Amino acid sequence: MADDIVLYTFWRSSCAHRVRLALAHKKLNYTSVFINLIKGEQLDSRYRQKNPSGYVPAIEIDGHLLTESVAILEYLEETHPQFPLLPKSPYERALVRAAVQMIACGIQPLQNLNVLTKISEDPSAPLAPGTLYNERGKAFARHFNERGLSAFEDNLAAFEKQGVRGPFCFGEQFTMADVLLIPQLAGARRFGVDLTPFKRILRVEQASASLECVIAAAPENQPDFTG
């Protein structure tokens, strides 16, 4: 069954990166189909037959086609519970899921390519051919990465006050909070965010760097990487 998993992915998509991390953490093998977002392949009719929304990731698993990265993570957790990505108690699960939403709703949507393109619309200064957003778009993405990661850092400090110790966001267990955080940091750096004030976040990143799943899922280790 696990061999039949097909992931529609792009090396730079942070949402695809989340799913790559979860699959690798749960030791689920999968085949990649690469959808080049920079070339606009997500809008090709062949892909939209799979995923009409035109976003990556999408996944074929257990005979189903699923979309939306956080919904996919929850599905993997329910159907492939080995190497769990959520704690056991409902309260702790709520804390981890809140951290997930801080990134999934509070940061990533505000640096999405189509959002930055919209922000960059300026009749008096059209974008150069091949350019997807301008300085205004980049500054917008940087602002909301800084704001959101600052809130995430405060949240890690609040976890500490409750007795949570590292190395990961929620203690010794690698959870969905880490699965969301690690891909977001690549985005933050791309937009020029200075991460040095976020000491707890950087500590989590460092602790995660040597994990097999983190290495396997990293953008630069994907066959379609062109960065």
Using CB under 8 A, list all residues that contact a second copy.
Answer: 52-53, 62, 64, 66-72, 74-75, 78-79, 90-91, 93-95, 97-98, 100-102, 104-106, 108-110, 115, 118-119, 140, 143-144, 151, 154-155, 158
C-beta neighbour count of 132 within 10 angstroms: 13
Beta carbon nearer to a second copy, 95 or 214: 95
Going from the C-alpha of 126 to that of each of 32, 68, 87, 123, 223, the distances in angstroms are 36, 32, 49, 6, 34
Provide the b/e sequence for 196-208 (b: ≥16 CB within 10 Å): eebebbeebbebb
Nearer to a second copy, 101 or 221 (CB): 101
Do strands 6-9 and 31-34 pair parallel, antiparallel, or not at all (unpaired)?
parallel
User: In the complex, what is the shortest distance from the CB of residue 218 to a second copy, in angstroms, rounded to a whole number?
Assistant: 23
Closer CB to a second copy, 115 or 216, in the complex: 115
Cα dihedral: 160, 207, 215, 140 (round 10): 50
Closest approach of Cβ 64 to a second copy, in Å? 5
Question: What are residue 59's DSSP bridge partners?
Answer: 7, 66
Q: Where are the alpha helices (DSSP H) in 26-172?
A: 45-50, 69-79, 90-104, 113-119, 135-161
Question: Least distance to a second copy from the beta carbon of 101, Å?
Answer: 4
Closer Cβ to a second copy, 71 or 125, answer by number? 71
Instruction: Give me the amino acid identity at 157.
Output: A
Least distance (Å) from a second copy to the CB of residue 56? 14
Give whichever of 183 and 214 is closer to a second copy, judged by the CB atom.
183
**CB contact at 8 A, 169 and 181:** yes
Give the Cα separation of 143 and 120 in Å (integer).
15
Residue 85 CB, shortest distance to a second copy, in Å, is 14
Q: Which is nearer to a second copy, 103 or 217 (CB)?
A: 103
Shortest distance (Å) from residue 225 CB to a second copy? 25
